[in-house]
Structure 1
Amino acid sequence: MISLIGFLTIITIVTLLITKKVNPIVGLVIIPLAGALLLGTGIDDLATYFNDGIDSVMSVVIMFIFAILFFGIMQDAGLFDPIINKMVEISRGNVVAVAVSTIIIAIVAGLDGSGASTFLITIPALLPLYKRLNMSPYLLMLLVVLSIGVMNLLPWAGPIGRAASVLNMDPVALWQPLIPLQLIEIVLLLFIGVFFGIREKRRIAKIYGFPSVQAEAAATVEGAVEENVDKDELKRPKLLWLNIILTLAVIGTLMSGALPSGFVFMIGLAIALPVNYRHVDKQLERIKAHAPNALMMAGIILAAGSFLGILEGTGMLDEMAASLIYILPGAILPYLHLIIGFFGVPFDLILSTDAYYFALVPIVEQIVTNYGVPSTTIIYALVVGNIIGTMVSPFAPALWLGLGLAKLEMGGHLRYSFFWVWGFSILLLIVAWVMGIISL
């Protein structure tokens, strides 16, 4: 009975999230509550489960709020603008250089862990250049999507935060073993940029003849970006190096693990605000501007904490795992995390990020740990296999923003990008296995 209600709870949440019938916060709170009440759970027990669940994710919530605010301030101050402008200038007229520069710009823009801001920075800046050089805008989307996937491994990005909440871990502690893999991913991405650049150059040559250097077009794009930067009163170009030092100090402290991640971002924000905006009113204005993103992510994580607390407290998670062990062939259960990881990108087509990490991942982790596989190894396989495909999911709102900015269709994006994204995801699983991050 317990496992049946558990499966009905999971299926209901996943279905409602997939069909966009409810907000994630509503689904993650109401459906598990209804399941617990069907099991006859008392008010006192519900309060205990809720408190346990919230306690398990509170550190993640604190980190998300202050990380989003900190990087939002850095973007307002123009920390990333010089790099982006320079890459646009360097890449003008060279198709291969444009492809590689797209990846570099997207990686820099993705330092805040937000797919939406990455699209907002890269697509408007580079789309005119792609069009003038007869480069496919779908290639622009593919390169940005791959870059977002790599940067989603950052602990203040959504997937790692969600995975950490499942394990009741600090996101930075979960991320630290992934740092070498993330650096290798960036290098591989640059090679992929060269590959796609050469491929695109041949396609253009075949259709249009060899393109001439579009220096004038690139200069126009660059000038438009610079003009926009100059007009924006929020930019602080004179404080660029100070902001760079502050950001590197924050990231370095995070990597060292010397302080809790939430505290690190809290300190960084407390320094960044008065340094860049002296007037208190302006500081409050900047916080209010970025608060909706911070609060939305915090709300989802808190709701997920309530969801996980109820599933664990009522025993639904244990019973579901036991039932699946009974149903599935015993030979595949120790490798279930690898199987799910291998098909992680296709799962993005049928599951939202919330459904994948808060519904599927806990069950797989619960099953495979019974065979002596460490929880972190399980999570790494599930994360690495899935994270690159975040922006091929029709359930990712940021993807629709990117498609709208580039004036592209979802079907065309999936046809152009899906198998390349899935192939890159499988390659990263192999690299992670070779590095010992995941094991067979």
Structure 2
Amino acid sequence: MLAFIGLVTIVLVVGFLLLGRMSPIVALTLVPLGGALVAGFGPEALTEFFNDGLSRVMQVATMFVFAITFFGVLQDTGLFRPLINGLIRMTRGHVVAVTAGTAIVGALAHLDGAGATTFLLTVPALLPLYERLSMSRYLMLMMLALGAGIANMLPWAGPLGRAAAVTGIDLTALWHPLIPIQLIGMALLVMLAIGLGLREQRRIAAAGGAAASSASGGIGGVEATEDERVLERPRLLAVNGALFLAVVAALVTGLLPPALIFMIGLSLVLLINYPDVESQMLRIRAHAPAALLMGAIILSAGTFLGIMDGTGMLRAMAASMVAVLPEAAIGSLHIIVGTLGMPLELVLSTDAFYFGMLPIVLEVTQPAGVPAEQVVHAMVIGNIIGTFASPFSPALWLALGLARADIGTHIRYSFVWMWGFSLVVLGVAWALGLF
């Protein structure tokens, strides 16, 4: 009975998230609460479940609030704009270089972990260049999506934070083994981009399109608006760059807890760039909605996980699944799910994947002796590459609007390449012993 209630709870949460009938906060709070009440648990037990769940995610929620605000303020200072514009100027007029540069630009623009910012920065700057070269806008979207997908493994980007909230594992401990995967993944992506760039060059030549040399001028990158120029601090570019590198270095070395690192980083970036109190508060207010939303989702996920775990629903569901799965598949379920990560991205939202599927896979595989870290790595790497090919990604819809592109064409153009690339990166992770 408990397994059935748990299954219904999971299906309802995932269903409401997929259909957009409830926000993640509402679905992750009310649905498991209803399931626990139906299962016969009272206020005293629910309080205990809530407290246990909250204790598991508090560090992650705190980190996200300060990390999103920190990177938002760095974005305000104009730190990333010269990097992106410099790459755009370097690759102008050469189809293969433009393709490779687009992938790198996608990763750089996603350093703040915000998909909307990534596409707002890159699509308006790159689209005129692609049009002048007669290049496919869908190639541009795929390269940006792949670059951003690799950068999305950063601890402040979202998916890894969700996985940390589910497992209770320290966020930086999950990220450290992924750093080589990100570096190798970027190298592989550049190789893929060169190959696709050559293919695009042949297509353009066969179609009698514009020659690469015709795009010799007129495109200098993405320009700041008047409001953005007021906030930018070009004279402090080196200082802000050093602060960014110092924060990343502190995260890599585990010098301090991630939440404290971002609290210090945010305090310093505000003090250095906007020394008066009113300006500091304006910057905090500007980024507070995104920061608080992510924090609230993580806290709601803590409630969901606390109830599902405390009631025993997850254990009951896992026991039922083990009873029907072939014995050989139990210890490899995380790898199977990781292999299918890209197709699953088309039918599951990020929240549904990490808060709905990951807990069940953990419950099935851990009794077979599979460490939680290995489960997370297999599922994250297999799934994350396809983040921006999913119709459940709001940032993708923004990118499609900016590029005047169709989602169906984008998925048809990108699906096989992105799935194949995710399998290659997954294979690299397996070869390096991550799972």
Aligned position for 1:313: 310
Aligned equivalents of 1:58, 1:285: Cα separation in 2: 26
Q: What is the alpha-carbon root mean square deviation over aligned residues?
A: 1.3
1:379 paired to 2:396? no
Give 1:221's match in structure 2, choosing from 215, 219, 222.
219
Partner SS for 1:304: helix
- Deviation per CA, 1:147-185, whole angstroms, max 9, x where unpaired? 111011000011100111111022111101111111111
- Give yes or no for contact 2:132–2:215 (8 Å, CA) kept in 1: no
Q: Gapped runs of 5+ residues in structure 2?
A: none
Aligned equivalents of 1:76, 1:85: Cα separation in 2: 16
Aligned position for 1:236: 233
- Give yes or no for contact 2:133–2:215 (8 Å, CA) kept in 1: no
- Deviation per CA, 1:11-61, whole angstroms, max 9, x where unpaired? 111111111111111000000000000011110110110011011001001
Aligned position for 2:160: 160
CA separation of 1:230 and 1:192: change in aligned 2, threshold 3 A? farther
Give 1:344's match in structure 2, choosing from 313, 334, 341.
341
- Deviation per CA, 1:88-126, whole angstroms, max 9, x where unpaired? 211111111111111221111111111111111110110
- Deviation per CA, 1:203-250, whole angstroms, max 9, x where unpaired? 11110256141344xx4221x634648971111110000001000000
| Bigger mean CA offset, 88-97 vs 248-257 | 88-97
1:437 paired to 2:426? no
Aligned equivalents of 1:169, 1:40: Cα separation in 2: 30
Aligned equivalents of 1:429, 1:212: Cα separation in 2: 35
Amino acid at match of 2:170: D
Aligned equivalents of 1:201, 1:414: Cα separation in 2: 22
1:265 paired to 2:262? yes
Q: How does 1:179-190 map to 2 (within 5 A)?
A: 179-190=179-190
TM-score, scaled to structure 1: 0.97
- Give yes or no for contact 2:76–2:228 (8 Å, CA) kept in 1: no
- Give yes or no for contact 1:250–1:268 (8 Å, CA) kept in 2: yes
Q: Gapped runs of 5+ residues in structure 1?
A: none
Note the C-alpha offset of 1:361.
0.7
- Deviation per CA, 1:382-430, whole angstroms, max 9, x where unpaired? 1111110111111111111111111111100000001111001100111
| Bigger mean CA offset, 306-315 vs 331-340 | 331-340
Aligned position for 1:20: 20
CA separation of 1:230 and 1:168: change in aligned 2, threshold 3 A? closer
Note the C-alpha offset of 1:190.
1.3
Partner SS for 1:10: helix
CA separation of 1:336 and 1:212: change in aligned 2, threshold 3 A? closer
- Runs (4 or more) in structure 1 with deviation over 4 Å come to 226-231
Aligned equivalents of 1:302, 1:413: Cα separation in 2: 34
Partner SS for 1:93: coil
Amino acid at match of 1:202: R
Q: How does 1:98-113 map to 2 (within 5 A)?
A: 98-113=98-113
Note the C-alpha offset of 1:378.
1.2
- Give yes or no for contact 1:162–1:357 (8 Å, CA) kept in 2: yes
CA separation of 1:227 and 1:4: change in aligned 2, threshold 3 A? closer
Amino acid at match of 1:245: A
Amino acid at match of 2:427: I
Amino acid at match of 1:235: E
Aligned equivalents of 2:227, 2:152: Cα separation in 1: 30
Aligned position for 1:116: 116
- Give yes or no for contact 1:92–1:214 (8 Å, CA) kept in 2: no
Partner SS for 1:225: coil
Aligned equivalents of 2:4, 2:230: Cα separation in 1: 57
Aligned equivalents of 1:85, 1:210: Cα separation in 2: 23
Aligned equivalents of 2:309, 2:188: Cα separation in 1: 39
Aligned equivalents of 2:228, 2:161: Cα separation in 1: 36
CA separation of 1:96 and 1:321: change in aligned 2, threshold 3 A? same
1:68 paired to 2:99? no
- Give yes or no for contact 1:81–1:229 (8 Å, CA) kept in 2: no
TM-score, scaled to structure 2: 0.98
1:29 paired to 2:29? yes
- Deviation per CA, 1:130-154, whole angstroms, max 9, x where unpaired? 0011010000100011011101100
Amino acid at match of 1:373: V
Amino acid at match of 2:365: V
1:83 paired to 2:83? yes
